[in-house]
């Protein structure tokens, strides 16, 4: 599913913060762990195509550099601290994503209802609380038919009910064929989400055992 | 205590608006040769003193600057980090005025510094009433600024009216619509200032050159075009911060380039309309269209330069300055459509390269 080769990312001439000589991850649900500042977000942003890096990354044999448009149809990303234009409404952003990513699935519409977003999604994002911004960001990550969904701290700022809904939705979408890489400082329950551990240590990514 | 106020309300203003000040400095002092600087400004000031419409427009421009300063100060007072400022309420009223008047004075300093010579020229040209009116206008602005800050400190729970400027809703959900909506909502003071400034410069040209000289106009034309450089900067910063998520969307880079081109086309419509109204008799339609497209191409090139320079404002302003001088020579060349095509190709090449490598430093 995900293939990384000769990946290296540094900032402004500094030594690389993260290097991955070669890594192949099959379809799965991965919990990416690492200390603060170890490069988890940098890796997710690189995989999402948000920041430049050296090396190559491909998902389902679609290379990020050579097939940038197709690649971005396959990979979605939700930020840890999402930022949106304050004058735009959630519904407008949803429409923007839907147009580019190829439509909203029925399950995503259900998620919108289940997260209780229907009443406020038409309001400007400047009026949203951090939890509401998070819900919108997560919902947008499910738009289209991504094969790899990158979620950076998906549970922070969410209430217990919303966290449960999101975890159930992740499992549902995973069973339908999508893979996930999730960073989370909150513990993930292996009984709910059968994850495989990925660990960033000393600027390198290591794969650990699967938990089910 | 004054030191603390300056640190919380004045210094951050100048730090945050370094780009704007660099741009204004460049716009007023960089576009003419050093030897002609004094005569250039003297001509400008004389035009202000003798043409009432010009003076009113300049006062309106200054008013926009005052609004920008005061909005920043009021936002600063309301920000959670500065909530300690509410304790100033406890001071005697006279002491509060003594603290807030210097804050307003320092925020308005760039305008006050330019207004001094204007008043001096007005007195020298026997327009003393104008000089007095101007002095009263500036005094009223400084006092109103200090009063608004004092009022905000005392009515801390109420959102000041000045902070609640109307929001304009743009229905579209394309990158172009969102970029325009950003300028109309979050950058409305800058947008208004730039538009007013560029139209004012064009108006000044018509006032000073009653007998239209086409060559002179072509050499003058880059000034209102480069005035848009700051809006281009705001559009790129918006696209790479609040719209950073667009990089994860399956949008071809060329479509992003096209979005910036369309935004430039829309941005320059007011200037084009002004030139159409005033210079339509002096140019043929193809000449007018080539002028408009050239201006658009230059803005697109500014965008590409920003991406190439990682949105470094200092390097960007230097590049804008160099391009301005280059443009004054290129303007008078024949085959302007070819020049437009060449600039767009160069801009596209720079954009494609710069966009992929771009990473906004935090």
| Tens-place pLDDT, residues A93-118 | 998 898 888 877 777 888 888 899 99
Pair B76, B202 in one domain? no
Pair B148, B199 in one domain? no
In this complex, is the C-beta atom of B255 within 8 Å of any C-beta atom belonging to chain A? no
pLDDT of residue B93: 87
Pair B56, B193 in one domain? no
Contact B299, B225 (CB under 8 A): yes
Using an 8 Å CB-CB cutoff, list chain B residues near A12: 361
Q: Among A16, A72, A68, which Cα is nearest to A42's?
A: A16
| DSSP result, B64-111 | HHHHHHHHHHHHHHHSGGGGGGGGGGGS-HHHHHHHHHHHHHHHSHHH
- Cα dihedral across residues A100, A106, A111, A117: positive or negative: positive
Pair B127, B254 in one domain? no
Q: Do A87 and B182 touch (CB under 8 A)?
A: yes
Contact B23, B317 (CB under 8 A): yes
Average confidence score pLDDT of chain B: 87
Residue B301: inside a domain: yes
pLDDT band per the 50, 70, 90 thresholds, residue A212: low
Of B244, B249, B359, the CB nearest to A100: B249
Q: Do A93 and B173 touch (CB under 8 A)?
A: yes
Q: Which of A37, A92, A181 to mutate to test the interface with B (most CBs of B within 10 A)?
A: A92
Contact A6, A55 (CB under 8 A): yes
pLDDT (mean) for B329-345: 89
pLDDT of residue A209: 63
pLDDT of residue A69: 92
Single pTM value for the model: 0.82
Contact B229, B29 (CB under 8 A): no
Q: Do A85 and B178 touch (CB under 8 A)?
A: yes
Name B215's bridge partners. none
Chain B residues 312-351 within an 8 A CB cutoff of chain A: none
ipTM: 0.88
Average confidence score pLDDT of chain A: 89
Pair B117, B219 in one domain? no
Pair B196, B146 in one domain? no
The single-letter DSSP state of residue B35 is: G
Locus of tokens 């030139």: B275
pLDDT of residue B201: 81
Q: What share of chain B is helix, strand, coil (3-state, %, to 5)?
A: 80, 0, 20
pLDDT (mean) for B314-338: 87
Please count the CA atoms within 13 angstroms of the CA of B310 that sit on its side-chain side: 9
Q: Do A73 and B250 touch (CB under 8 A)?
A: yes
Per residue in A6-59, pLDDT (tens digit) is: 999 888 777 888 888 888 999 999 999 888 888 899 999 999 999 999 999 999
DSSP E strands in chain A: the ranges are 2-9, 18-25, 29-34, 54-59, 62-63, 75-78, 148-152, 179-183, 196-201, 204-210
Residue B362: inside a domain: no
Pair B308, B233 in one domain? yes
pLDDT (mean) for B249-254: 93
Q: How many CB pairs under 8 A join A and B?
A: 73
Pair B147, B200 in one domain? no
Pair B302, B192 in one domain? yes
Residue scoring higher pLDDT (B331 or A42): A42
From edge to edge, which strands make up the β-sheet containing A29-34? A62-63, A54-59, A2-9, A18-25, A204-210, A196-201, A29-34, A179-183, A148-152, A75-78
For chain A, which residues lie within 8 Å of any Cβ of chain B, measuring from their own Cβ?
Answer: 11-12, 48-52, 68-73, 75-77, 79, 82-88, 92-93, 95-97, 99-102, 124, 140
Residue B148: inside a domain: yes
Contact B66, B162 (CB under 8 A): no
Shortest CA distance from A53: residue in chain B: B357
Residue scoring higher pLDDT (B166 or B196): B196
* Structural domain of B330: 175-357
Per residue in B109-131, pLDDT (tens digit) is: 999 999 999 999 999 988 889 99
Beta-carbon count within 10 A of A183 CB: 21
pLDDT band per the 50, 70, 90 thresholds, residue B173: confident
Pair B84, B140 in one domain? yes
pLDDT of residue A67: 93
Q: Do B247 and A87 touch (CB under 8 A)?
A: no
Using an 8 Å CB-CB cutoff, list chain A residues near B259: none
Residue B95: inside a domain: yes
pLDDT of residue B352: 94
Distance CA B180, CA A105 (A): 30
**For residue B157, pLDDT beyond 90:** no
Pair B150, B180 in one domain? no
Burial category of B316 from C-beta neighbours within 10 Å (exposed 0-12, middle 13-18, buried 19 and up): buried
Q: Do A85 and B252 touch (CB under 8 A)?
A: no
pLDDT of residue B140: 94
pLDDT of residue B75: 86
Contact A198, A181 (CB under 8 A): yes
Q: Among A207, A208, A189, A200, which Cα is nearest to A41's?
A: A200
Distance CA B188, CA B167 (A): 9
Hey, what's the torsion of the CAs at A48, A52, A54, A56, to 10 degrees?
30
Q: Do B248 and A83 touch (CB under 8 A)?
A: no
Q: What tokens were used for B134?
A: 């101007």
User: Nearest-CA distance from B237 to chain A in Å?
Assistant: 12
Contact B224, B271 (CB under 8 A): yes
User: Nearest-CA distance from B362 to chain A in Å?
Assistant: 11
pLDDT (mean) for B277-301: 90
pLDDT of residue B170: 61
Using an 8 Å CB-CB cutoff, list chain A residues near B247: 48-50
3-state secondary structure of A181: strand
In this complex, is the C-beta atom of B250 within 8 Å of any C-beta atom belonging to chain A? yes
Pair B101, B193 in one domain? no
Q: Do A99 and B173 touch (CB under 8 A)?
A: yes
Look at chain B and report how many structural domains it folds into: 2
Burial category of A141 from C-beta neighbours within 10 Å (exposed 0-12, middle 13-18, buried 19 and up): buried
- Top mean pLDDT of A72-81, A107-116, B194-203, B220-229 is at A72-81
Residue B303: inside a domain: yes
pLDDT (mean) for B177-191: 89
Residue scoring higher pLDDT (A190 or B71): B71
Shortest CA distance from B181: residue in chain A: A87
Q: Which of A47, A53, A65, A72 to mutate to test the interface with B (most CBs of B within 10 A)?
A: A72
User: Nearest-CA distance from B6 to chain A in Å?
Assistant: 29
Question: In this predicted structure, which of A185-189, B107-111, B259-263 has the lowest mean pLDDT?
Answer: A185-189
Domain boundary among B102, B125, B154: B154
């Amino acid at each position: 599913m995900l293939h990384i080769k000769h990946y290296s990312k540094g900032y402004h001439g500094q030594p690389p913060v993260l290097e991955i000589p070669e890594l192949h991850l099959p379809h799965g649900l991965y919990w990416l762990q690492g200390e603060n500042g170890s490069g988890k977000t940098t890796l997710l942003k690189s995989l999402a195509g948000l920041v430049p890096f050296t090396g190559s990354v491909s998902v389902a044999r679609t290379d990020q550099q050579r097939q940038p448009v197709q690649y971005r149809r396959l990979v979605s990303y939700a930020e840890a601290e999402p930022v949106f234009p304050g004058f735009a409404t959630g519904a407008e952003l949803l429409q923007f994503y839907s147009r580019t990513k190829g439509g909203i699935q029925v399950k995503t519409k259900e998620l919108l209802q289940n997260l209780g977003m229907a009443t406020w999604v038409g309001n400007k994002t400047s009026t949203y609380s951090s939890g509401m911004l998070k819900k919108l960001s997560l919902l947008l990550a499910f738009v289209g038919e991504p094969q790899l969904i990158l979620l950076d701290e998906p549970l922070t700022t969410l209430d217990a009910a919303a966290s449960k809904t999101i975890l159930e939705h992740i499992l549902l979408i995973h069973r339908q064929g999508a893979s996930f890489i999730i960073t989370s400082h909150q513990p993930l329950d292996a009984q709910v989400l059968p994850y495989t551990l990925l660990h960033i240590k000393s600027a390198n990514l290591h794969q650990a055992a699967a938990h089910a | 205590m004054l030191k603390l106020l300056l640190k919380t309300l004045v210094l951050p203003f100048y730090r945050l608006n370094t780009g704007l000040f660099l741009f204004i400095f460049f716009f007023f002092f960089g576009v003419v040769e050093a030897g002609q600087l004094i005569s250039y400004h003297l001509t400008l000031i004389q035009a202000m003193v003798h043409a009432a419409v010009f003076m009113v427009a300049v006062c309106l421009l200054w008013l926009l600057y005052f609004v920008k300063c005061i909005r920043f100060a009021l936002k600063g007072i309301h920000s959670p980090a500065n909530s300690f400022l509410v304790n100033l309420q406890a001071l005697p009223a006279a002491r509060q005025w003594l603290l807030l008047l210097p804050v307003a004075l320092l925020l308005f300093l760039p305008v006050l510094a330019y207004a001094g010579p204007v008043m001096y020229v007005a007195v020298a040209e026997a327009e003393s009433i104008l000089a007095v009116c101007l002095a009263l206008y500036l005094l009223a602005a400084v006092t109103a600024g200090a009063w608004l800050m004092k009022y905000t400190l005392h009515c801390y729970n109420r959102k000041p009216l000045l902070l609640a400027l109307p929001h304009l809703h743009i229905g579209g959900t394309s990158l172009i619509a969102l970029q325009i909506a950003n300028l109309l909502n979050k950058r409305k003071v800058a947008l208004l200032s730039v538009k007013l400034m560029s139209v004012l410069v064009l108006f000044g040209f018509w006032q000073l050159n009653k007998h239209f000289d086409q060559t002179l106009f072509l050499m003058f034309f880059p000034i209102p075009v480069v005035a848009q450089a700051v809006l281009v900067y705001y559009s790129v910063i918006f696209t790479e911060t609040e719209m950073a998520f667009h990089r994860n969307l399956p949008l071809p880079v060329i479509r992003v380039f096209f979005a910036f081109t369309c935004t430039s086309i829309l941005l320059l419509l007011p200037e084009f309309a002004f030139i159409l109204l005033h210079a339509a008799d002096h140019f043929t339609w193809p000449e007018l269209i080539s002028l408009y497209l050239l201006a658009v191409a230059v803005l697109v090139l500014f965008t590409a330069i920003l991406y190439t320079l990682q949105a470094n404002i200092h390097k960007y302003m230097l590049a804008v300055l160099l391009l301005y001088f280059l443009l004054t020579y290129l303007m008078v060349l024949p085959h302007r459509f070819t020049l437009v095509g060449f600039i767009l190709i160069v801009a596209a090449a720079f954009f494609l390269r710069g966009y992929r490598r771009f990473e906004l430093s935090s």
